[in-house]
Structures are given as C-alpha cells and as structure tokens.
A and B are shown apart, each in its own frame.
Chain A
C-alpha cells in the first residue's frame, strides 16, 4: 500500500472546506467545513460527501479517518468514501454508537441510495475506520480489523476517496484522513521511487 494523500485538517476554520476537496453534490449544505482542526459536515441534518483532488486517483484505493460521533440512530454519522465523484456517485461507510447496526455500507448511484450491509461494530471516539475498493470488492475495517466479510458490487468503477456523513447525528467530526492505493512500491520509500523514475527516463 502507498499513501497518496493526507489531511489533518489543522488549519483555520473555513466553510466550505475548499481545495483539495470537492462535494459530490452541488446542493446546499452538502459539503464539509473545517471546525477546530477537524472536518465536519456543514449541517447535521443534511448528508454530505466530499472527495479528494490532491492527485489523480487510481480506480483501486482506500480512504481512512478517525471518527468521532454522538448519535445512536444506526446507519448514520461520519465516515469514509471511495470511488466518489460528482453527481452523487460513491460508496460510503458511516458509523454511530447505536448498540446494533451502527455501521452501514451503502452506495449512491446517481444519487440513488442503496444499503449494502448493516453491521455492529462498537468503538471509542477517535477510532480509525477504513474503506477500500479493489476491482469490485469492498472491505471495511476498524482499527485495522475487518468489519465482517467483504462485499462485491459492480456499480461504480472510477472515482476518488474522501469523507462522508449520513444525517442525523448530534455531533460528528473526522480527523487525520488518509488515502492511498495498493501499489507495492520499491524498498526505500521515496528514494526507491526516485530510482524507479531514473530507470524510466533512461
């Protein structure tokens, strides 16, 4: 795996969140904002989703962030998204603190919302949640451990990773976001990459 972009949101409060983030839906209050060095939805009563534009994202990628939420509705709260694009296309994992069914994987295809699975995953605020897509396989993780079995879905084939929020919640925030791909890379990190580039350039 290789990290392709990160954002710790440590900057002045701003609304909307701005570059390098783009909302999947151009409607009112569907974006994110920066509040107290975290990423938060613009409005607790409105779903929101933004994708990262720092790099040209490969089709296979992951998205992860630290999740903090107050809410027990089940299938609501903040989370991660993959293969996100405008016109409301994306897969999302969202979480709250309901005693059962608090983790939900869903897809939005041209804005149409389908619940792919509902599972239970207790967690403490600040836990890292992760969603990856490789080919047609979706895998969700909590602090590095899979949340149940993988899922197969063929609706979306391209897009970028990002942040998501499903209303309602009493409060919600995301921090220390990271996105990446599954390239093996070369040993030696950046130096290995430079070595590879030099070979390519002859």
Chain B
C-alpha cells in the first residue's frame, strides 16, 4: 500500500468529479481513499496498486509517492520533501530532518482539513492568480481575508494569526497546529 501526493483533477460535476489524477488510466479498478486540499488541485491518496501500476503512477513528474514505512525519519530527504510541498502551495519550512514521514503527513493532512472548511466557506481558490505561500495576509483580497477568518472561526480556532504581515505559509501552519483531532484517517493509515 502507498500514499501519494498528486494532482486532483475534475471540475466537480457529475460527468467530471474531482478525483485523483492518473488512477483511472494507470491503476483502473484499484480502490483508493482521497483527502483533498480544499479547492486547490492537489490531494493525498491512499491506494493499493500492483507494483506495475505503482511504477506507472510514479512515472508522472507531478506524483510523489511516500515510502511504505511512514515511521522512518526524513533525514537527508528534508529538502526534497520541502520542495515537493512548496511546489504545491503547502507550507514547508517547518519540516525538519528529524521528523518522520507520518509526522509530516499528519501536519499536511491537518492543513488540508482547514482548506476543506475554507472550501465550504468559499468556492474561490486561495492560491489564485498571484497568491503564493509568501503572500501576506494584508495583501489578500478583502473577501478572502474574511473567508479565511470565517473558516477558522467555524473550526473554533484562534484567529490572531490572520492579520497584518503574516504570510500564508505561517498562517496555514499555525491554524493546523490548533486542530484537536486525535486521529486523521487516510485509507488504512492513521495519522
């Protein structure tokens, strides 16, 4: 079994549901579990493809497969992990080499959970045109600022980080750190 960080495709209609990219072509019929990054075109996927199917999936440049042993330390792969996250607009500067993949996955999953709630508040993408992890809160459109605060409030989070010159990189991590979820389920993995 494997966990992948990969593109999420689909427009969300009946004919074109939001779903993991490549799975239908490379691993047809394989069961999967998905956790989306709100409206962003990215998801975590847990699946059990065959080795041949796995190799097809990871042949795509935008598919990241996590190691089977999630409890090993990231170690020398720290920069690789950080780059992979940053490329997908996922805060990355908190990742340390001493962390295990499971520890990193849990934080990423909690960031995804906040973004899911934001998706309920607004269908607009946070990382729309010109918005990056380095964008400051006071540089965001007024409507998005209010929507971020509304999403945080609905989760019972402290919203003091949603202000001034705080970057989205720090805001999303600060919000995720406030989650009280003891367990996050992604397929057969508990994070």
Contact = CB atoms under 8 A, between A and B. Distances in A.
A116 B186 contact: no
Contacts of B19: 114-115
B120 A119 contact: no
A109 B188 contact: no
- The A interface is mostly helix, strand or loop, or mixed, namely loop
Contacts of A111: 12
Task: Bin chain B's interface residue count.
Answer: 20 to 34
A152 B186 contact: yes
Interface string B2-33: 00000000101110011100000000010111
A114 B14 contact: no
A110 B32 contact: no
- The B interface is mostly helix, strand or loop, or mixed, namely mixed
Contacts of B33: 116-117, 148-149, 151
Contacts, number: 88
Given A155-B117, A156-B120, A115 B34 contact: yes
Given A106-B17, A109-B119, A155-B117, A117 B12 contact: no
Task: Bin chain A's interface residue count.
Answer: 20 to 34
A149 B188 contact: yes
Given A101-B29, A114-B12, A114-B36, A153 B116 contact: yes
Interface of B: 10, 12-14, 17-19, 29, 31-36, 109, 113-114, 116-117, 119-120, 123, 154-155, 181, 183-188
